[in-house]
Amino acid sequence: MKRTITLLSYSILTITILLASACNKDFLEKRPLNEYTEDDVWKDPNMIQAYVNDLYPKMRHGFNEVMLGSMTDESRFIHNYGTTTSVTEAMSPEDLGALNLFGEWEKHYKAIRNCNIFFAQVDAAPFKDEAQRDRLKGEVHFLRAYFFHMLVKYWAGVPLVTQIFQLTDGEAMLIPRNGFEECVNYIVSECDKAAALLPEAHDRDNTGRATKYAAMALKSRMLLYAASDLFNRPGNSRPELGYVGGDRQVRWKAAQDAALALIQTNKFSIYQPTSSGVDNYTRVFMDKNNAEVIYCKYFNKQLLGTSHDLYNGPNGYHNWGGNVPLENFVEGYQMRDGTPFNWNNPAMAAKPYDNRDPRFYATILYNGAKWKKRPSDAIGLDPVGVIQTGKYEKRNASGGVDVISGLDTRSGPIENWNGSYTGYYLRKFMDLNLDAQFFRGEQTWPFFRYAEIKLNYAEASMALGQDGPARDAINEVRTRSGMPAIPVSVTGAALLEQYRYERRYELAFEEHRYFDARRWLIAETVFSGPAKAIEIYGKLNPDTLLYTYKVLTTGVQDRKFTNKHYLLPIMSTEIRRNSKMTQNPNY
């Protein structure tokens, strides 16, 4: 019996067929045009392309109401949505909390099944243009690699399902987890196949499709992760959890080679359009198709657009607060001269937002930061547009002093329910010119950008004892934002510490920190303990406010990351339906 496929997302294809059929007298007697048999799809190259188009939305971007950064020491989501479960010992095989929104085991396997169906049919399809067939095959090799890499990042070795199962297949559908090494090799192989088939760039009509360089970037990321501490634990005897034996230096060399291969194409560069470090970093995420973007997701504000600004902007602008940066993250920004910030330094504590790493100003909205024009019902309270996350003394009509809450606090006069718990809001990815209360944005989400590849190369080079090339790669990224270059005297453990700083703050809120802290085996330290906030008080002096700052270690969110959390638990539903599925340790 033929299956019927409903292609609700293939709107462009449907419109095309409708136009072509408009003059046909028998049109009304045909079956609905959004229903097709499976045979229909594989007989028409346009429908095959539409089938592939439908795989791309399965690549989950980061502009979501809950950001992965709120499962790390970057931010806290101001509501719950399961985030509390994900950052405490409450996470279990029965409930992954918000992390189920990111790992998406079932959704990724559905997408992989669709990839497998494509490969089972595409070679027999009647393409007039073999170049189109090859391009689509390259895209699906990339997509299948991407979906598997998402699973492996969260769970380690997973079942490599590369065939199509039917409900009648019974026991054959019960597949054990493949070894981690097998999974990595498979993902790398898929990336290589994709790179061999995909073009370096697409014409305007195909913008947003995978390219050769997207496949190379994915390979670089996967091999770097594979060489890291998490998957190379001494004494591991379970192949699905990581490598069992072998030469780890060979793995680091493979990671270095993969990053270097992309670097040596000379197709990308660290974007530096101005002399301002703040502007340079800001514009990486605002200027479309700049020299640093390897592969991204595009948004069109005339269609769906992105709600990043609405989800995360200050409540004093009628935005939703969303994922608010933690003091844990903010205090880690270095000073402009490269020295650490320290609350115990009186000069720094008196003016904590002065002379910081320029990326701080492009990433964080803090008390006193100049922002955009207030909405019409608030502009009278703040004609300039300055973030207000503290409490301030103000002289009243009788000469006394009142204490008022800032416009962007949880007790402010504009909206008093969805403000920040931490004293900060997110600035990164935000469009300064967008009225997010009413309009959506069209910023792109960077799946892969060149700074990541340079940092991948640096990490692998350090692991191979090549501090010089590593330092050069780090400095290329670091100096773009106006930070001083790391001197040649910094080597070994000190250079590694600087590298980890650079990766943390250069790639902030791009869904790297969760994986980096885990693969470096430092998450038990950096993801545990209290989520911290800043309390700000402006005391009235004769003609100005004197600000004091207090770091709060209670009242935001208590967190606990344990050894078992380095890998997510396989969900109980999967264990129950597949008797050959093994659970990750300690769950």
Same domain, 32 and 161: no
- Bin 355: left if φ > 0, else alpha if -120 < ψ < 50, else beta: left
State the average pLDDT for the chain: 93
- DSSP 8-state secondary structure symbol assigned to residue 373: P
Beta bridge partners of 36: 5
Could you tell me the residue range of the domain that residue 119 belongs to?
Answer: 47-60+104-265
Per-residue pLDDT band at 542 (split at 50, 70, 90): confident
Instruction: Give the model's pLDDT for residue 260.
Output: 98
Same domain, 170 and 29: no
Residue 311 has pLDDT above 90, yes or no: yes
Instruction: Give the model's pLDDT for residue 227.
Output: 98
3-state SS track over 461-512: HHHCCCHHHHHHHHHHHHHHCCCCCCCCCCCHHHHHHHHHHHHHHHCCCCCC
Model pTM? 0.93
Contact 506, 451 (CB under 8 A): yes
First to last CA, the chain: 43
Same domain, 217 and 108: yes
Last residue of a domain, one of 265, 284, 309: 265
Between 353 and 38, whose confidence is greater? 353
Q: Does 198 map to a domain?
A: yes
Per-residue pLDDT band at 18 (split at 50, 70, 90): very low
Instruction: Give the model's pLDDT for residue 285.
Output: 98
Domain of 113: which CATH number? Answer: 1.25.40.390
Instruction: Give the model's pLDDT for residue 14.
Output: 38
CA nearest to 261, candidates 198, 219, 293, 201 = 219
Last residue of a domain, one of 249, 265, 281: 265
The structural domain count of the chain equals 2
CA distance 535 to 286: 31
Residue 4 has pLDDT above 50, yes or no: no
Per-residue pLDDT band at 38 (split at 50, 70, 90): confident
Residue 407 CA from chain centroid, whole number:
30
Same domain, 165 and 214: yes
Summarize pLDDT for 129-157 with one digit per residue, the tens: 999 999 999 999 999 999 999 999 999 99
Same domain, 175 and 139: yes
Looking only at the bridges linking them, the beta strands covering 391-395 and 529-540 are parallel
Q: Does 334 map to a domain?
A: no
Same domain, 224 and 259: yes
Alpha carbon of 71 to those of 87, 298, 513, 584: distances in Å? 6, 25, 9, 20
Summarize pLDDT for 213-246 with one digit per residue, the tens: 999 999 999 999 999 999 999 999 999 999 999 9
Same domain, 161 and 110: yes
Per-residue pLDDT band at 167 (split at 50, 70, 90): low
Per-residue pLDDT band at 173 (split at 50, 70, 90): confident
Q: Does 214 map to a domain?
A: yes
Alpha carbon of 171 to those of 130, 528, 580: distances in Å? 38, 42, 10
Alpha carbon of 41 to those of 34, 44, 48, 162, 238: distances in Å? 12, 6, 6, 21, 42
Q: Does 136 map to a domain?
A: yes
Residue 575 has pLDDT above 70, yes or no: yes
CA distance 22 to 247: 65
Same domain, 250 and 151: yes
Last residue of a domain, one of 236, 265, 294: 265
Q: Does 532 map to a domain?
A: no
Residue 495 CA from chain centroid, whole number:
25
